[in-house]
Amino acid sequence: MSIINNNGQETGFLMPNWEVCQKPPQKNMYGQYCNLEPLSIDKHSEQLFSAFIEDSDEYNWTYLPYGPFDNVKSFSVWLEECCLGDDPQFQVIIDKETNKALGMASYLRIVPIVGVIEVGHIHYSNKMQRTCVATEAMYLMMSRVFDELGYRRYEWKCDALNARSCRAAGRFGFTFEGIFRQATIYKGRNRDTAWYSIIDSEWPKIKSAYEDWLNPNNFDTNGNQLNSLSF
């Protein structure tokens, strides 16, 4: 609830008990269907390249500012040069059934002092898309941000023309906030950026919906969902 100052101006609500968050730790996240591990070049590069190369028309690289890569060596060089820092902090998504890396995502634009963090660099291989692994990976990353670290705001940003990413943001519980026009240039073309977020007060309801959806009882013997993810 906003307060009114002595000049009659409405100001934001006070946060006398706010404490600065910690940066996400470089440690694994464990789920029912997948685990997330900090990126390791030696352990993950070949598996990731093998998973991504199945995208024969290279559709999944369209709205990323890098790639595609012609071979595992060039991919590994990019991983080593760009993906081993603290921000962005890359996570590799491991399918527990096969113990293979099928995708990656990262925390980025991490601002612990005000409790704001973004998820991005999301690259799901074809085998990972529209699976329990895809959904649980996002749940695990959110749970770390809100439950473990106490962040106030979790952001998702994408090219406004990336219809898949915009739909995914809505499905994963993010609220659309607007479009930043001509926000950047990448791969020689303009990008208008669509902004989405989840804030901490929304998380309990969203968390409950994820846990209901991820429950094994929500799937038939063929692995088809009985109830959709709904908030």
Per-residue pLDDT of the chain (231 residues; tens, 9 = 90+): 678 888 888 888 899 999 999 999 999 999 999 999 999 999 999 999 999 999 999 999 999 999 999 999 999 999 999 999 999 999 999 999 999 999 999 999 999 999 999 999 999 999 999 999 999 999 999 999 999 999 999 999 999 999 999 999 999 999 999 999 999 999 999 999 999 999 999 999 999 999 999 999 999 998 899 999 998
Predicted model pTM? 0.95
Give the pLDDT of residue 135. Answer: 98
Token pair of 40, please? 């390791």
What gap in Å lies between CA 229 and CA 231, rounded to an integer?
7
Token pair of 199, please? 């804030």
- Is residue 15, in this structure, part of any structural domain at all? no
Full domain range(s) for residue 85? 24-218
- Is residue 160, in this structure, part of any structural domain at all? yes
- Is residue 83, in this structure, part of any structural domain at all? yes
Which CATH number fits the domain that encloses residue 94? 3.40.630.30
**Which positions ≥6 away from 93 have C-beta within 8 Å?**
34, 35, 36, 101, 102, 103, 104, 105, 124, 128, 133, 137
Residue 184 has a CB neighbour count (10 Å cut-off) of: 12
- Is residue 227, in this structure, part of any structural domain at all? no
- Residue 127 φ/ψ, nearest 5 degrees: -65, -25
- Is residue 225, in this structure, part of any structural domain at all? no
To the nearest 10 degrees (0 to 180), the angle between helices 41-52 and 72-82 is 130
Give the pLDDT of residue 223. Answer: 87
Give the pLDDT of residue 2. Answer: 75
- Is residue 70, in this structure, part of any structural domain at all? yes
Per-residue b or e along 193-211, where b marks 16 or more CB atoms closer than 10 Å to that residue's CB: bbbbbbeeebbeebbebbe
What gap in Å lies between CA 122 and CA 89, rounded to an integer?
12
Give the pLDDT of residue 8. Answer: 84
What gap in Å lies between CA 112 and CA 76, rounded to an integer?
30
Q: Which long-range contacts (CB under 8 A, 24 or more apart) does 213-216 make?
A: 213/135, 214/31, 214/32, 214/33, 214/132, 214/135, 214/136, 214/139, 216/32
- Is residue 12, in this structure, part of any structural domain at all? no
- Is residue 30, in this structure, part of any structural domain at all? yes
Token pair of 208, please? 């409950």
- Any bridge partners for residue 92, and if so which? 37, 104
Give the pLDDT of residue 6. Answer: 82
Task: Name which of 61, 136, 123 is nearest 97 in CA terms.
Answer: 136
Number of domains in the chain: 1
